[in-house]
Amino acid sequence: MRERSADEEAYHVGTAAMSTDAALDEAFTPSPPTEPLTVAEPARETPVHAITQVLVVGGGPAGFAAALAARRAGAEVLLVERYNHLGGLSTGGLVIWIDRMTDWNGRLVIAGIGQELLERLPQDAVAGAPRNLWGSNSEDRVAYWRERQGAFRDTVTWSPMIDPEWLKYLSVEMLIDAGVKLLLHSWVAEPLLDRQRVRGVTFESKQGRRAILAEVIVDATGDLDLCARAGLEFEADAKAGGGGIAHCLNTGWLWAGVDFARWLKFKRDDPQAHRQLMTDAGEALGFAERPVVGWSNDVALFLGPRLSGYSGVDVTDLTRVEVESRRRMVAHLDHFRRRAPGFENAWLMLSAPQIGVRHTRRLIGLDKLTADDWRQGIRHHDEIGVSPSPSQKFANVSVPYRALVARDAENLLAPGRHMSCDPQTQAFMREIPQCWLTGQAAGVAAALAASREIPVGELDAGALQAELRRQGAYLQADADSTVAVAGGPPRGPKVSITADTPAF
């Protein structure tokens, strides 16, 4: 048997000190009853905590934008969030790299509430390419910003790094300033159903179980929790043929005390040594996660490890990923301190309070945004916003309102990563800016539907688009406002466009 390298020995000692693999397996093995058992919960009267026009469940990027947009559109709004902060994965999940908000020409196409939030950040809490460089193809500029996550496919983009604590703070302040009611530390339990309407929800907190009644409800949980518990059909994150879970989970982490300028100089000046360092890490630790510079040059972000074969809606899997991620975080710290220039004085700043879930369930809506749509350059008549396309080969992606509308519920909207789309589209529509986009649209729609006392699927596209424009959202062209969203053809009138078609 060969001797362990120093890196392997350190990893072995570090993990053994925490728990052996056998002990880890035992920790996640429940003691089930010898035969199937259930318990009968007694019927009870649940006190009503609040009555509101619009209820938003979940305070991540989509939920935050939905609540603010609904309030600005004139509705009474209550937002319920299970954690002690807003922002979801953009704050608690440490997804502090805000993905592309500009298209291939450098045009800011995801604007509105998301961009407003970023513009309110202090200068030292955000790092990204200046506006005059957006869309640049200069090799030098692309090379510089690629190292800082600000360039994609040889184009400089607006995709900044942000300080999550400032984003938490500003998200709450913006909602309070607008008059949104807020409940933190509250976990929605069950929907209150009345045929095809969801009359409200029950939720749990330190005060016990309470109820909230609402006219329109926005499921912004990210996992379609409310829709699933209401019995609505959904598409799941499973590979074709029952091959398991398609997307990886992880708990990210931040290190401070890093000299990122030295690290980047090392990568640039000695690429062979850099490759060897990462190869050695992979062999010693079982995988190698690369560091990314944060909003400050002394902060490193690791968005990993990406662990496959786990479900984001299975509590045992979620628990195991948390434990495994932190074990590997500690092993990485030891390796980088000893081997990586600029990391000699690195220290653990934070492991993500929220686990990194990419995909679990997807809504079955009145429409479905598909790869065929954006590959063909289709523009939806009920467009609520525009996403940058994943490749220069394609035009900007037109996002339809009806992909947020639950097919089998009259007053339920579902923006964010669980919107109605196919897996190829979900790969980019799950990103933070796209969640701001769909959340803002859902909030406006909820407010308009509540004020007009109509099902969300019957909302007029033109009215929705007019309010979105008033709130600063970017739309490509005027829709046919005479066509009601629910009254058009099954997928709505569309206009074929090319990558050269100018945006209006």
**Residue 438 phi, psi dihedral angles, 5° rounding:** -70, -30
With cut-offs at 50, 70 and 90, classify the pLDDT of residue 285: confident
* Residue 5: per-residue pLDDT: 45
Q: Are residues 467 and 487 in the same domain?
A: yes
Give the dihedral of Cα atoms 461, 466, 468, 473; nearest 10 deg.
110
Find the mean pLDDT for residues 400-426: 96
Mean pLDDT of the chain: 89
Please tell me the distance from the alpha carbon of residue 438 to that of residue 385, in angstroms, as a whole number.
Answer: 8
Any domain includes 199: yes
Q: Which long-range contacts (CB under 8 A, 24 or more apart) does 496-500 make?
A: 496/376, 496/377, 496/378, 496/379, 497/377, 497/378, 497/379, 497/395, 498/377, 498/395, 499/104, 499/377, 499/392, 499/393, 499/394, 499/395
Q: Are residues 270 and 364 in the same domain?
A: no
Last residue of a domain, one of 305, 325, 357: 357
Please tell me the distance from the alpha carbon of residue 368 to that of residue 271, in angstroms, as a whole number.
Answer: 44
**Per-residue tokens: 213:** 């009644």
With cut-offs at 50, 70 and 90, classify the pLDDT of residue 307: confident
Please tell me the distance from the alpha carbon of residue 54 to that of residue 179, in angstroms, as a whole number.
Answer: 13
Q: What percent of the chain has pLDDT over 90?
A: 78
**Residue 197 phi, psi dihedral angles, 5° rounding:** -120, 145
Last residue of a domain, one of 300, 327, 357: 357
- Amino acid sitting at position 56: V
Higher pLDDT, 3 or 32: 32
* Residue 139: per-residue pLDDT: 96
Q: Are residues 173 and 251 in the same domain?
A: no
Statement: residue 478 has pLDDT above 60:
no
Q: Are residues 255 and 225 in the same domain?
A: no
Q: Are residues 332 and 377 in the same domain?
A: no
* pLDDT one-digit tens code per residue, 188-224: 999 999 989 999 999 999 999 999 999 999 999 999 9
Considering the entire predicted model, what is its pTM?
Answer: 0.89
Any domain includes 127: no
Q: Are residues 346 and 375 in the same domain?
A: no
Q: Are residues 434 and 468 in the same domain?
A: yes
Any domain includes 130: no
Last residue of a domain, one of 334, 357, 380: 357
Q: Are residues 216 and 324 in the same domain?
A: no
Total domain count, the chain: 2
Any domain includes 137: no
Any domain includes 217: yes
Statement: residue 130 has pLDDT above 90:
yes
Any domain includes 32: no
Any domain includes 4: no
Q: Are residues 295 and 395 in the same domain?
A: no
Find the mean pLDDT for residues 258-285: 95
Q: Are residues 345 and 372 in the same domain?
A: no
Tell me the CATH number at 415. Answer: 3.50.50.60
Q: Are residues 259 and 394 in the same domain?
A: no
Contact 383, 399 (CB under 8 A): yes
Strand ranges inside 109-252, DSSP E: 126-127, 151-152, 155-156, 161-162, 181-183, 187-194, 197-205, 208-219, 234-236, 249-250
Statement: residue 28 has pLDDT above 90:
no
- The residue range of the domain holding 381 is 47-121+163-237+359-504
Which of 69-73, 255-259, 481-485 has the lowest average pLDDT? 481-485
Any domain includes 145: no
Higher pLDDT, 314 or 446: 446
Q: Are residues 288 and 318 in the same domain?
A: yes
